[in-house]
Amino acid sequence: MATDHHSERDEWRLGGEPAERHPAERVQPIPLRPREYPRERLERQVAIVTAEGLYWTILALYAVISRLLFLGSRPLSPREAIHAATALDTIRLGIAPAPPNFWIQMLDAATIGLFGASDFGARILFALSGIALVLIALALRPYIGKIGALAMATLILLSPSITYFSRSGVTQGPALLAVLIAIELWFAIARTPNAARSAGLGCVIGLSLAANAQNLVLALIFVAALLVIGTWRLTITNEAWMRVRIWWRRRSRLLIVTALVAVLVWTMLETGFYAQPFLTLAAAAARSNWQAAAPHGSALPVYLGLFGFYEFLIVAAAIIGALAMLLNLAGARSEFGIFALLWTILAAGFFMTTPAFAPAWIIEILIPAALLGGIGLEALSRTWSWNLFFYPLATLALLTFYVQIATNFAVVAPDPSEAPWARHALLFWSEPVTTIGIADALHSLEDAAPITPRTAWIESNSAVLKWYLRDLKPAENAVSADLIAGASKPPPGWRVGNQATFEAAEWWHPDFSGLSPRRAVLFLLLQSAWQPFQSRETTVLVRSENHSAPTTIYAPPPALPAAISSPGAIAGVETGPAASTATPTASPTPSPATSSSAAP
Residues 6+ apart with CB under 8 A from 449: 483, 497, 498, 542, 543
User: Distance of CA 315 to CAs 159, 395, 396, Å?
Assistant: 11, 14, 11
Identify any residues that bridge with 540 across adjacent strands, giving them in sequence order.
485, 500
The predicted structure's pLDDT at residue 589: 38
pLDDT by 10s per residue, the chain, length 600: 445 555 555 555 555 555 556 566 666 777 777 766 677 777 777 778 899 999 999 999 999 999 999 999 999 999 999 999 999 999 998 888 877 788 999 999 999 999 999 999 999 999 999 999 999 999 999 999 999 999 999 999 999 999 999 999 999 999 999 999 999 999 999 999 999 999 999 999 999 999 988 999 999 999 999 999 988 888 877 777 888 888 888 889 999 999 999 999 999 998 877 777 777 777 666 666 655 554 456 788 999 999 999 999 999 999 999 999 999 998 889 999 999 999 999 999 999 988 778 899 999 999 999 999 999 999 999 999 999 999 999 999 999 999 999 999 999 999 999 998 999 999 999 999 999 989 888 988 888 777 888 899 998 888 999 999 999 999 999 999 999 998 888 898 888 888 899 899 999 999 998 899 999 999 999 999 999 999 999 999 999 875 544 444 444 555 444 433 333 333 333 333 333 333 343 334 333 333 333 333
Q: How far apart are CA 320 and CA 199, in angstroms?
A: 36
The predicted structure's pLDDT at residue 36: 65
Residues, the chain: 600
Q: How far apart are CA 167 and CA 171, in angstroms?
A: 11
Q: How far apart are CA 241 and CA 261, in angstroms?
A: 28
Question: Which of 378-409 are b and which e, b meaning 16 or more Cβ less than 10 Å from the residue's Cβ?
Answer: bbbbeeeeeeeeeeebeebbeebbebbebbbe
Classify the C-alpha dihedral 378-382-384-387 as positive or negative: positive
User: Distance of CA 443 to CAs 14, 73, 438, 474, 502, Å?
Assistant: 104, 16, 9, 17, 13
Give backbone dihedrals phi and psi of 78, rounded to 5 degrees, phi first.
Answer: -55, -40
| Residue closest to 162 by CA, chosen among 34, 311, 327 | 311
The predicted structure's pLDDT at residue 552: 44
Q: How far apart are CA 38 and CA 138, in angstroms?
A: 36
Residues 6+ apart with CB under 8 A from 266: 205, 206, 209, 210
DSSP string, 471-487: TSEEPSSSTT-SEEES-
Residues 6+ apart with CB under 8 A from 83: 105, 108, 122, 169, 171
Contact 379, 330 (CB under 8 A): yes
